[in-house]
C-alpha cells in the first residue's frame, strides 16, 4: 500500500524576553554566532582565499586579480578561467570550503543560512550560464555530492547572484549542519589552455546571509514495500544526480508516450552528445539506498532476493547501461553489471544480491550509491527512461 511522503518540518522559533528597567539580563541566545552573516571569501590574498580552493574536472585556472574594475569589494577578486578537461568534456567546477583546520574557521552549520550571495563579473561580452550550489559531502578530491544546484544566466558585467538554501530540499540528501562548501560550475570551454577566446569571470564577495529562524533539519524517507526508487514521490527527484552534461528529471510517462512499468512517473535522463568516448555515470544517492531494505538485510533474507529495475532506451541502437554497486564507506565501485537495453522498448534488469555479496561480503552493511554508467560515444543527445527500482524476493 502506498504511503504518502511525509515531510517532517521542525519549526523552531527563537524567543527572547525583554524586561524594561528590570535587574534581570536577557537570556543569551546559544545560536547567536550562527545567526551572524559571514563573509566566506573576499579573495584578498592567496592564503587562505585561493589556497583552499578545490579544483575539479580540470577546472582551468584561478588567479588573484587586482584590477579594480573587476573588484566588487576590497582590493582584489578571483579571476576564473574555467576550461574543463577537453577530452572528457567535463564541466569545470571549483568549490570553496566552509571550514579549515589550518586557518581555523568553521561555517559549515547552515541551520540559519537564508541564502548565499556572490558577485560575479561576466567578462565575455555576452550572456553566459553557470551553476552554483552547495557541497554536501566530499568523498575525495574527485568526488563530491552537490545540493541546491541553481542555474544562473549572467549578463555581461557585474551580477549579484543568490543561492537559495531550500532547507526542506537540502535535508533530503544532506545534513544542513555540515555543509562542506559553495561550488561554482561552468560550461566546458573545449580548450587546453587559457586564451583570449576562452571565457573568463571575476568572483568576489561570497556571503552567507543569515535569518533568525532555524531551518528544519530532519527529513524522513518513506518507501513502499521493497521499493528502492519508483519516482512517484517528489523527493526522489533529488536523489538522482549527474555531474555531466545532461537533463535528469521525473516526468509523467504518458507525456512521453510511454506506459510506466509501475505507477505513473518515471525518471527521464537525456545525455547530451559530447562524444568524448569516456565512460560516465549518473547516480542514485546513497542516502536513498541506505533507507531501503538493502541496508541491514540479513544474508538469509538475501538468499533469493534480486535488485531489479526497468530501462527504456529511446534510441535506435542497443545500449549497455551498466549498473555499478559501491560501498558507502569509501564511495568505491566494486562490481559492474551489464544492463543491455534494446532500442525502443522497456528492458528489465535483475541481479541476485548473493552474487553481489560474493564480490563485497559487507555490501548489505554498507550499501553505497548506485552508478548507472554510459559510454559518451554519441554526437547527438540520447534519451532514456528508468523506473521501478526495487527488491524482489523470489521462492
Partner 1 sequence: MKIKRTAPSKKLFAFAMSAMLFAGTLSIGNFDAGYAEEDVEFWSTYATEKILRDEYEMYDSVRKAAEVRVRACQGEYESTQLIMTANADVGSYEVELSDLTLSGGEATFAKENIGVYHEKYILVENVYDKNGAPTGWYPDALLPVETAEEYGENKIAAGQNQGLYITFNVPVDQAAGVYNGTMKITCDKNVTEIPVILTVEDLLVSQTTHSKSKFNATFHQYLGELNSTQDMLDAYIEKMAEYRISPGAVMHGSQFTTSEEDMRMYVDRAYELLQNPKMSNFNIPAFTASRENVKTIDRNMLTKYIDCVLEKSLETGFDMMGRAIFSTGLIDEPDLFGLMDRVPYVCEDFNAAVTTSLNNLDALAKRYPETGPEFVEQLKTSLENFPLIVSMAKTDQAVEMGVETFCPKIDDYDSATSREKYDDQQQRWWYTCVTPRPPYAGYHLEDTLISARSISWMMSEYDVIGNFFWAVDVYARYDGTNYQPIEDYYQTSARYPEANGDGFLFYPGSPYGLDEPLASMRLEAIRDGAEEYELFYDLQNAYAALGFDTDNVQRNISSLIYTGTRVSSTSENFYGARNALIDLTKLAKTPAGVCVMDATDDNYGHVTYKVYVNNGYDLLSEGEVLQNGEAYGNGKIYEISIDLAEKNNINFGVTIDGELVEFDYRVGGKTQIRQAEDLVGSFTENTCTLKVELVNASDVDASLSGKLVALTLGAVDGKHQSVNFTDDVIKSVSSDTKRIVLRIVNPTDKAIPFMLQAKFKGSSINLTILTVDLAPGENVLEVSGFGSYDWTNYESLERFILYFTDSVKEPHEAQTVYVKDFVIYDN
- Residues near partner 1 (CB under 8 A) are 46-47, 50-55, 58-63, 83, 85-88, 90, 97, 100-103, 138-143, 192-194, 276-278, 330-332
Contacts with 116 (C-beta within 8 Å, 6 or more apart), sequence order = 40, 132, 134, 162, 163, 165, 182, 206, 207, 208, 209
Question: H/E element holding 307?
Answer: strand 305-313
Min dist CB 62 to partner 1, Å, is 4
What are the residues facing 128 on neighbouring strands?
154
Residue 351 grid cell: 541481479
Kindly tell me which of 34 and 138 has the beta carbon lying closer to partner 1: 138
Kindly tell me which of 165 and 179 has the beta carbon lying closer to partner 1: 179
Question: H/E element holding 359?
Answer: helix 353-359
What are the residues facing 62 on neighbouring strands?
80
Min dist CB 21 to partner 1, Å, is 51
Question: H/E element holding 281?
Answer: strand 279-284
Query: Which residue do the cell numbers 561555517 mark?
Result: 107
Min dist CB 15 to partner 1, Å, is 39
Kindly tell me which of 82 and 133 has the beta carbon lying closer to partner 1: 82
Min dist CB 352 to partner 1, Å, is 18
Kindly tell me which of 54 and 224 has the beta carbon lying closer to partner 1: 54
5 vs 1: CA distance, rounded Å: 13
163 vs 320: CA distance, rounded Å: 37
Please answer whether residues 336 and 324 qualify as being in contact, where contact means their C-beta atoms are separated by less than 8 angstroms.
yes
Min dist CB 259 to partner 1, Å, is 35
Cβ-based neighbour number of residue 150 at 10 Å: 15
232 vs 252: CA distance, rounded Å: 9
58 vs 136: CA distance, rounded Å: 21
Question: H/E element holding 39?
Answer: strand 38-41
Kindly tell me which of 93 and 130 has the beta carbon lying closer to partner 1: 93
Among 29, 82, 18, smallest CA distance to 56 is for 82
Kindly tell me which of 59 and 346 has the beta carbon lying closer to partner 1: 59
Displacement of CA 341 from its chain's centroid (Å):
27
Please answer whether residues 349 and 311 qualify as being in contact, where contact means their C-beta atoms are separated by less than 8 angstroms.
yes
Min dist CB 314 to partner 1, Å, is 25
Min dist CB 58 to partner 1, Å, is 5
Min dist CB 257 to partner 1, Å, is 35
Kindly tell me which of 5 and 62 has the beta carbon lying closer to partner 1: 62
First to last CA, the chain: 22
Q: Where are the beta strands (DSSP E) in 104-263?
A: 105-106, 113-122, 128-140, 143-154, 157-164, 181-185, 201-210, 227-229, 240-242, 246-252
Min dist CB 45 to partner 1, Å, is 10
Kindly tell me which of 59 and 70 has the beta carbon lying closer to partner 1: 59
Kindly tell me which of 34 and 62 has the beta carbon lying closer to partner 1: 62
Backbone phi, then psi, for 117, in 5-degree steps? -115, 155
Min dist CB 46 to partner 1, Å, is 5
Contacts with 225 (C-beta within 8 Å, 6 or more apart), sequence order = none
Kindly tell me which of 76 and 390 has the beta carbon lying closer to partner 1: 76
Amino acid at each position: 500500500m502506498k504511503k504518502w511522503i511525509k515531510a517532517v518540518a521542525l519549526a523552531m522559533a527563537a524567543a527572547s524576553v525583554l524586561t524594561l528597567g528590570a535587574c534581570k539580563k536577557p537570556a543569551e541566545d546559544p545560536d547567536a554566532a550562527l545567526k551572524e552573516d559571514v563573509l566566506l571569501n573576499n579573495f584578498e590574498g592567496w592564503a587562505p582565499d585561493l589556497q583552499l580552493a578545490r579544483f575539479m574536472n580540470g577546472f582551468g585556472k584561478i588567479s588573484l586579480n587586482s584590477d579594480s574594475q573587476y573588484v566588487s569589494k576590497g582590493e582584489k577578486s578571483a579571476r576564473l578561467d574555467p576550461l574543463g578537461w577537453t577530452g572528457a568534456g567535463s564541466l569545470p567546477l571549483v568549490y570553496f570550503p566552509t571550514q579549515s583546520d589550518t586557518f581555523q574557521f568553521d561555517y559549515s552549520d547552515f541551520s540559519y543560512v537564508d541564502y548565499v550571495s556572490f558577485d560575479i563579473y561576466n567578462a565575455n561580452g555576452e550572456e553566459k550560464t553557470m551553476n552554483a550550489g552547495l557541497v554536501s559531502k566530499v568523498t575525495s578530491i574527485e568526488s563530491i555530492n552537490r545540493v541546491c544546484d541553481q542555474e544562473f544566466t549572467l549578463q555581461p558585467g557585474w551580477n549579484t547572484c543568490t543561492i537559495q538554501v531550500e532547507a526542506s530540499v537540502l535535508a533530503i540528501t544532506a545534513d544542513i549542519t555540515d555543509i562542506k562548501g559553495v561550488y561554482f560550475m561552468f560550461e566546458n570551454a573545449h580548450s587546453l589552455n587559457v586564451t583570449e577566446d576562452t571565457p573568463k569571470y571575476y568572483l568576489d564577495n561570497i556571503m552567507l546571509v543569515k535569518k533568525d529562524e532555524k531551518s528544519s533539519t530532519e527529513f524522513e524517507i518513506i518507501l513502499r514495500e521493497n521499493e528502492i526508487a519508483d519516482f512517484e514521490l517528489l523527493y526522489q527527484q533529488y536523489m538522482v544526480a549527474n555531474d555531466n552534461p545532461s537533463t535528469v528529471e521525473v516526468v509523467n510517462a504518458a507525456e512521453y508516450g510511454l506506459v510506466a512499468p509501475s505507477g505513473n512517473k518515471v525518471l527521464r535522463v537525456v545525455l547530451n552528445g559530447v562524444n568524448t568516448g569516456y565512460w560516465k555515470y549518473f547516480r542514485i544517492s546513497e542516502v536513498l539506498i541506505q533507507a531501503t531494505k538493502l541496508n541491514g538485510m540479513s544474508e538469509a533474507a538475501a538468499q533469493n532476493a534480486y535488485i531489479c529495475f526497468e530501462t527504456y532506451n529511446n534510441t535506435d541502437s542497443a545500449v549497455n547501461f551498466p549498473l555499478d554497486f559501491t560501498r558507502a564507506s569509501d564511495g568505491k565501485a566494486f562490481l559492474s553489471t551489464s544492463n543491455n537495453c534494446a532500442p525502443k522498448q522497456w528492458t528489465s534488469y535483475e541481479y541476485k544480491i548473493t552474487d553481489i555479496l560474493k564480490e563485497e561480503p559487507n555490501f548489505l552493511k554498507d550499501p553505497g550509491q548506485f552508478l548507472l554508467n554510459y559510454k559518451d560515444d554519441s554526437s547527438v543527445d540520447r534519451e532514456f527512461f528508468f523506473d521501478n527500482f526495487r527488491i524482489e524476493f523470489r521462492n
